[in-house]
Amino acid sequence: MAAASNEKWLRENPGLKRITGMGVWEAPRRLAVRRRCNVLVCGAGPAGLGAALAAADEGAEVVLVERWAMPGGMWTAGLVNPFFEARNRGYIVRELIDRLEAADAWKLWCNDYCFDPEVMKLTIEDMLRQRKVHVLYYSQAVDAIVENGRVRGAVVESKAGREAILADVVIDATGDGDVAARAGCEFAFGSPVDGFVQPMTLMFEIRDIHGFRQRDSRGLYDRLAAALAERGNPFELPFPRYNAAPYVITLPCDTAGAVQATHVYQVNPLDPAELTAATMTTREQAHQLMSLLKTLPEFADSRITNTAASIGLRESRRVTGIYRVGAEDLAEGRRFDDAVCSVRFGVDIHHGPGQTKSGHGAKMQPYEIPYRSLVPRDVRGLLLAGRCISGDHYAHASYRVTGSMMATGQAAGLAAARCAAQNLDPAELDGNQLHAELVRRNCLFLSR
């Protein structure tokens, strides 16, 4: 059947589908509008939470859409610890830390801090309730609603079906830049050397650790490698000997730890089949590694209590913004008048077998991320927060950690609320004034 004939049939039979050699034709349909709001935040990870809470603080009506049955994203569904780059963030980040400390769920680990993931969930939900953020779990933004070049909302799918949420401003905090991509934004992907994104890790938690302390990965690597050689196990450690893995991050309960060790390489984070295979592979790796850990005295009584609900993605789409943070910004330690956060974390690129080393440990100075990197170049009405902001492969490997990403979120939320209140497009907002407001909210930046 010709394409024109298919289209006519579908218009005359709304709600029906037709299978042809060209695929499945779907009839146009009217989507129910579930809700209208000032600010729609897609994704409740660290960045999305910062955005939703900051926007609500400004009096905006906020809807927060999240696919998991919990807030926190990689902190909770991904079991990612520690809370890197938590210092000097002020504002929403400081409030969250204060609440975790008060709940005895915050602890120094090496030079950073770790937290109790279950207390993190409860704490965040209390913050969301207090600010009257309308939260939708079990829901995922699957498309952008674009009208005359402006994002007007998102299509959300859930048990209720396919619905629309309309908003004055939409914030893409999906990590993968899903909303921006569906809106037609240009994006970059992978390393300029080989085109691959960084490897993925499935975190897992263990209990009953006795007397273990760690400052570097190489000592534990050597002990596991020796145990592997002695036992003659039929598997290999899924990472080379460098200062990226393995780590057992002791949690606020000293006998519990989060293990950062599993790795899979050259996986496409946008392909569900590859993600599924990667998750199954890393879950198997987790149990293999646990069997090795148990040969060490400190872990003789230990067991896995939980593998993460989601594999951890270090890298995916990087949406093209008005400004792209690049390796040169890191090398020069650049400051910006419209800075939304500062970053001190190093360029952390995990390399796999046979991969070209492309920047891990590159020289850098503390630098700042400008507001312009949160504003897509291609469409209006949309802001970026978290991993999908505008940057190159090398800069991304530095700013991608959760403290920095929550800081971009709180800035995006403040900006979105002001745009909604003043009927401005995000590109029209004065980034210098936004920076000054963040300073007033105790966010510390680099000296000028």
Cα 324 to its chain centre, rounded Å, is 18
For residue range 187-235, list pLDDT tens digits in order.
999 999 999 999 999 999 999 999 999 989 999 999 999 999 998 877 8
Looking at the chain, the domain(s) classified CATH 3.50.50.60 span 33-192+316-440
* pLDDT tens digits, one per residue of 56-109: 999 999 999 999 999 999 999 999 999 999 989 999 999 999 999 999 999 999
The DSSP result for 349-395, as a single string, is ----TTPPP--TT-----EEEEGGGGSBSS-BSEEE-STTSSB-HHH
Q: Which of 446, 199, 223 is nearest to 333 (CA)?
A: 446
Q: Where are the beta strands (DSSP E) in 223-326?
A: 247-250, 257-260, 303-307, 317-319
Closest to 384 (Cα-Cα) out of 433, 317, 310: 317
Q: What is the number of helices (H) and of strands (E) in the chain? A: 11, 19
Report the C-alpha gap between 197 and 83 in whole angstroms: 22
Measure the CA–CA gap between 391 and 394, rounded to whole angstroms: 8
Looking at residue 272, its amino acid is P
Residue with tokens 């680099």: 446
Residue 356 has pLDDT above 80, yes or no: no
Task: Say if residue 19's pLDDT is above 70.
Answer: yes
DSSP code of residue 103? T
3-state DSSP percent of the chain in helix, strand and coil, to 5: 35, 25, 45
> To which H or E segment does residue 310 belong?
none
pLDDT (0 to 100) of residue 44:
98
- Does residue 306 or residue 7 have the better pLDDT? 306
**What is the per-residue pLDDT for 3?**
64
Least confident of 1-5, 213-217, 394-398: 1-5
In this prediction, residue 22 carries a pLDDT of 85
Residue, of 384 and 353, whose pLDDT is higher: 384
Return the pLDDT at 9.
Answer: 63
More confident position, 447 or 301 = 301
Residue 160 in tokens: 């209720």
Under 8 Å between Cβ of 228 and 328: no
- Which residue blocks in 294-371 are alpha helix, DSSP H? 327-332
Closest to 358 in 3D by CA, of 397, 391, 325, 401: 397
Between 431-440 and 402-422, two packed helices, what is the crossing angle to 10 degrees?
A: 120
> H helices within 298-392, ranges in order?
327-332
| pLDDT value for 184 | 98
CATH for 33-192+316-440 (3.50.50.60, 3.30.499.10, 3.40.50.720, 3.40.50.2300): 3.50.50.60
CA distance 176 to 316: 5
Return the DSSP state at 78: S
